[in-house]
Amino acid sequence: MDIIVVGLSHKTAPVSVRETVAFPPEAMQAPLEQMLALSEVREAIIVSTCNRVELYAASTNGDAATVQLKQFLADYHQIPLETLDSHLYAMQGEEAIRHVFNVTSSLDSMVIGEPQILGQIKTAYGYAAEHKTAGLILNRFLHKAFSVAKRVRTETNIAGNAVSVSFAAVELARKIFGSIEGKTVLLIGAGEMCELAAKHFVNNGVTRVLVTNRTFARAEKLAAEFSGQPVLFENFHDHLHQADIVLSSTGATSFVIEADQVQAALKQRKNRPMFYIDIAVPRDIDPRVNDVNNVYLYDVDDLQGVVNANLKERHKEAEQALEIIEHEIGQFQSWMAGLDVVPTIVALRQQIETLRQAELEKTFANLKHLSDSDRKTITSMSSALTNKFLHPPTKALKQAQKDSEAQQYVDALQVLFDLKIAAPEGKLKAVESD
């Protein structure tokens, strides 16, 4: 069994591509079940954030599973694979394990050290657990990834000098307005990203916060945290002109702000500049808004240039984090190797025992004059020989497991002795806690 990762991220695909393959969080059951139904996939998890879409799978045939996962991603979103393939990456085994550990530890994030990704992957794992598409392998794998991320945050300063997408938005606002003291911000959406943005803006001088959300109660709750004003979602366009800064992060599948609405708001503001930040995937704001004079629109990709200046210290800490990850990879591989070591030892012993019993029966059939005492002596001797014969390969396998080299020994023994290892029954094993 092996770990497989197929996906794309901000490093391989622009937001215009990432938004076409995003999976809505409220509708994860169907894609998870379809992914699990692939013949070479035994367990499945889907991670879908604004910066990445990744498929995690457990499979006994990594190459075939990779082909199926790529095709699934293209077919599910009705995109020709040849259009998508150049943006995709695919990893197996140690490379896949290292990648996911890097992702959960935020070393692969647009902003190194940002805390959101760990929560997002925990949410993705929760969906898989809820819909029973994650079993023994991925359950243990994700729990290990979570513990690795915890170690990195505890033992390094990777999260120091707080940097996030919302903080980058504050930096951009400062550049545009010179100062954001006394400014008004409108948050479209009441999720975690909007809450973080509100904290950053208020801490940096914004005095008025407007909040709108499709669920008005959530808008009221977030607005209350900042002594702000909740706004009905169906009416928020009427309040655009009041906002100097508009940050949008919803789960909408089409634009919630059009260029003509921004033009109208700007006219009411007597052409005073506006700053629009679109951190949603798919995007919330029509890109043509950027063509309106005195309006500045940035999406999640545009924020990259702003955050880079804040990352030098985090890159230093990342070196220490990578050492932690390399150590943890070895531990997880040892556990994975153990999944093959134990069945191989059992199969080898069963095969030798079967041969021993067969030879004893043939011997006793030809030596019928033997007494019961003689038979017991011969039986004990054959058993002792069997144990002495099996001791070196068993010891070598167990030692190799500790050194993450067990697979080489397992493969050799299975070929040399023609061992038949029973495949796991069904798609999933029982879920196990870490």
Instruction: List the catalytic residues.
Output: 50
137 neighbors 58 (Cβ within 8 angstroms): yes
Residues 6+ apart with CB under 8 A from 28: 46, 127, 131
Nearest in space to 165 (alpha carbons), one of 205, 120, 124, 123: 120
241 secondary structure, DSSP code:
G
Burial of 17 (0-12, 13-18, 19+ CB in 10 A): middle
Count Cβ atoms below 10 Å from residue 426 Cβ, excluding itself: 8
Q: How far is residue 123's CA from residue 23's CA, in Å, rounded to a whole number?
A: 13
Alpha carbon of 288 to those of 275, 320, 363: distances in Å? 14, 43, 89
CB 58 within 8 A of CB 4: yes
Please report which helix (H) or strand (E) contains residue 54, including its range: strand 52-59
- The Cα-based distances of 140 to 119, 170, 430 in angstroms read 17, 38, 11
- Check residue 430 and report its DSSP letter: P
Rounded to whole angstroms, the Cα distance separating 401 from 376 reads 36
Number of H helices and number of E strands within the chain?
Answer: 15, 10
Contact (CB, 8 A) for 106 and 149: yes
Nearest to 196 by CA among 183, 184, 209, 179: 209
CA 245, CA 264: separation in Å to the nearest integer? 16
Query: Can you tell me the distance from the alpha carbon of 20 to that of 41, in angstroms, rounded to the nearest whole number?
Result: 23
State how far the Cα of 185 lies from the Cα of 60, in Å rounded to an integer: 52
Reading the block at residue 82, the tokens are: 């040849």
Angle at 357 between CA 351 and CA 361, to 5 degrees: 145
Q: Collapse the DSSP code of 59 into the 3-class scheme (helix H, G, I; strand E, B; otherwise coil) and give the result.
A: strand
Give φ, ψ of 276 to 5 degrees.
Answer: -110, 130
